[in-house]
Structures are given as structure tokens and as C-alpha cells.
């Protein structure tokens, strides 16, 4: 019988942060559209705007990481 450290674990990929933030923004917009109360609509629109900011920041970070990885790969090729 295998011990806990020897058992095979199934890796479940986590959701992309940027996609998560965008989905939350869209959900907040949908809740705003569905509400009849002005204060709830406004609150949901503010939440959507905040999620949009987080999505933009995350997207920028994703692009920066990709550019850095590309730069490192190019440097590695040039050193060979």
C-alpha cells in the first residue's frame, strides 16, 4: 500500500485569474440588469468596474510575464 507521499494526485488546472475577474465583472453587470432597484444596480455597476480594473491589471501582468519569458528564451538561444 502506498503512503500519502507516494499516491498519484490528479492535477486540476486552476482558472486563469484574468478570465475569473472578467467573469465576475460580467456577472455583476448581469445582476445589475436584473435588478429593479436603482441602488442595487449602481452597487453592481461599481462592483463590475472594480472587477474590470482587476482584470486589466491581471491582463497587463500576463502580458509582461509572457514578454519576459520570450526575452529569456531568446537570450538562451543566443547563448547557444
User: pLDDT of the chain along its 80 residues, tens only?
Assistant: 444 444 444 443 345 899 999 999 999 999 999 999 999 999 999 999 999 999 999 988 888 888 898 999 999 888 87
Domain presence at residue 63:
yes
Domain presence at residue 8:
no
Domain total in the chain: 1
Domain presence at residue 47:
yes
CB 80 within 8 A of CB 47: no
| 25: number of Cβ within 10 Å | 19
Domain presence at residue 10:
no
- Alpha-carbon gap, residue 26 to 32, rounded angstroms: 10
Q: Domain range for residue 23?
A: 15-79
Domain presence at residue 25:
yes
- Alpha-carbon gap, residue 59 to 17, rounded angstroms: 9
Between the two ends of the chain, the Cα-to-Cα distance in Å is 46
Amino acid at each position: 500500500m502506498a503512503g500519502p507521499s507516494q499516491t498519484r494526485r490528479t492535477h486540476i488546472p486552476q482558472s486563469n485569474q484574468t478570465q475569473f475577474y472578467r467573469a465576475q465583472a460580467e456577472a455583476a453587470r448581469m445582476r445589475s440588469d436584473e435588478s429593479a432597484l436603482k441602488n442595487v444596480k449602481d452597487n453592481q455597476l461599481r462592483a463590475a468596474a472594480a472587477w474590470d480594473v482587476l482584470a486589466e491589471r491581471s491582463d497587463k501582468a500576463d502580458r509582461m510575464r509572457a514578454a519576459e519569458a520570450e526575452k529569456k528564451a531568446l537570450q538562451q538561444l543566443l547563448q547557444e
